[in-house]
Structure 1
């Protein structure tokens, strides 16, 4: 595997390369600030660097490159896979009546023979990430793991963009299927958030829209707990996500993407089924940094080879808690995976990965999710 990496800040005309070399037909991951990726020239700009590359774009809530976290920048990671093949498929949520159907359609386009892993870069501002994953899981062999993330838009929650070989636009979902006998992919996620307050029951919901908790309007109840911070919704919700417990499975953390004052409801990044138990959650800087270390340790467990590429998808809520210490969680990852790995990734509105040791993908929020790849 050969890797190039570069970054360009807002107002800059030149790319600064941190890893260089000549690549043939690379897979190029371009993560950047939404305002920069809205430029109609961004595709031509990257295409000039990699005329024969497959270009995947996604907006972020912060860009990860090497040991650093950036804002208002565009990062690129170009990868030449020497022993592995891949297939890229795309669709737009506007083309399908349900996001599950979109997930089905993309999964059906990926040949199953020797498929080792799927990595997804998805629209993040209005898609139900759980539904998208469910669509994939209905078609794909359950032994094929899926990781990836929902695109971000800072803490603005206005709109996200993604694309494959075209200028970034709204509603896009891109999936990369990796194939090869020598390919080794491991993954893990960990949050570091802790539940507090009374445990309550979801009494009315529809997919990822939460209407009632304990028979009371969900938004009213949530605002009561936030107090003065309620005026800062939906951004304030990133600091106080929800723990959602369904049956005996491990609880999932759910971030609130938006609120609807008219219906007194909250729109979350993933499903919140009726009957599930919910609690508020909170975290600290140390908890989040330690969780990143834990995620990396789980991802490295039982690996045969050192990772050559580490794709990191972390949540915008973690970034807000860490504030000026954001790079600490990247440093924790590097301490475990080693400096030989090229680090790339972004801060997201939702992370996709199975729990460690399992294959069935789930949507997570407020986690550090790693995908470690080597050939």
Structure 2
């Protein structure tokens, strides 16, 4: 496998394409919605790599080595020697269609030698956990699914995704990797601390939370945020994600973050399901623990992929926008912690998201996560 990274600047040009493999079969690109919306970055990639599948999405910031940038679009071109890739995409009309759309994508990509799937999904009009469940229902639990939900910085206005076409809203794209040569490592970790009492979800519908402990869920967040920060919802709620778990399986908790609020009803829309009867507890972060989580996730991905000493590899880092908002100017420390776990021949790319997709570290089932650093490492075994 060969890989090369490229950058699109405000002047409207890609740099680094001369060093990219001309016959690349797959290109990923990530950028701010405002820089992707006119389709120009995609069109130039399409012209430069006519044989490649080209997938991309809007973000809350792009990973450029050990830095985060809002001013460039980043891309990576991949040329596989012994791995087939196939893509599928779909439009989603409403969040309640998430499972059925996921099942359609999973059925389209399913094959006997499917080794893994990487997903880029609309970040606002989707129930991420239902989407992943739908994909898994067609490919089985043993095939890893990873990826992320597109972002829109702290604005939560619109997210866009493209698959062999200019990026658009309400789009979900997935790429399947096939064969014995591909090695896909994955890891996901958080680093947040729980605080406050353990509560119970008493009324919800899918990913919409109405009541916690019999009281409006939004009131709980407003209590912790205070009057000033409550006016900045849903963005300010990113600093207080919620850990949820089935009381029968407390060791298999997941973290959920907010996508929207309804002040009239008092409800909150999360990126994934909020099942009634599950336990819930608020969380807050510390810089040291978040960086340790990023390192842990990357270490797990490297261990699972086990790239050879001379093999080229690519690590796709998908981290939550909430982590970036909390860490502020120290966000580079998270990326430096992740990069320290990578070998010299590994190229780190990625983006800040509205949700991360990866197998759960305890159960092994693919799930939507929030407020985590999720790493997908791609490499090929030498022939």
For the residues of structure 2 that align with 1:89 and 1:21, how far apart are their CA atoms?
24
Does the 8 A contact of 1:299 with 1:356 survive in 2? no
How far did 1:73 drift? 2.1
Equivalent-residue separation in structure 2 for 1:359 and 1:42 (angstroms): 36
CA distance in 1, matches of 2:157, 2:95: 22
SS at match of 1:83: coil
Shift of 1:298: 1.9
Q: How does 1:1-375 map to 2 (within 5 A)?
A: 1-9=1-9, 11-17=10-16, 20-94=19-93, 98-228=97-227, 229-246=229-246, 247-248=248-249, 249-306=251-308, 308-356=313-361, 359-375=364-380
Distance 1:238 1:216, change over 3 A: same
Q: CA deviation at 1:319?
A: 0.6
Deviation at 1:61, TM superposition (A): 0.3
CA 231–181 in structure 1, closer or farther in 2 if over 3 Å, else same? same
What is the CA–CA distance in structure 2 between the aligned matches of 1:125 and 1:95, rounded to whole Å? 10
- Cα deviation code 1:56-103 (max 9, x no counterpart): 120000001222211132111111111100110010102996211101
Shift of 1:199: 0.9
SS in 2 for 1:197: coil
Alignment coverage as a number of residue pairs = 374
Asked if structure 2 preserves the Cα contact closer than 8 Å seen for 1:2 and 1:23, the reply is no
The whole-number CA distance in structure 1 between the counterparts of 2:233 and 2:33 is 21
Contact 1:96 1:102 in 2 (8 A): no
- Aligned equivalents of 1:326 and 1:284: distance in 2? 12
Displacement of 1:13? 2.8
- Structure 2 counterpart SS, 1:272: coil
Deviations 1:308-345 (A, max 9, x none): 11111000001111111112111111111223111111
CA distance in 2, matches of 1:322, 1:120: 26
CA RMSD, Structure 1 to Structure 2 (Å)? 1.7
Q: What is the TM-score of this pair, normalised by structure 1?
A: 0.96
Which deviates further from its counterpart, 239-248 or 186-195? 239-248
3-state DSSP of counterpart to 2:100: helix
- Say which SS state the counterpart of residue 237 (structure 2) adopts: helix
Quote how far apart the aligned CAs of 1:45 are. Answer: 2.1
Could you tell me the TM-score, scaled by structure 2's length?
Answer: 0.94
Distance 1:22 1:40 in 2: 22
Query: Aligned partners of 1:288, 1:366: CA distance in 2, in Å?
Result: 9
Structure 2 gap ranges (5+): none
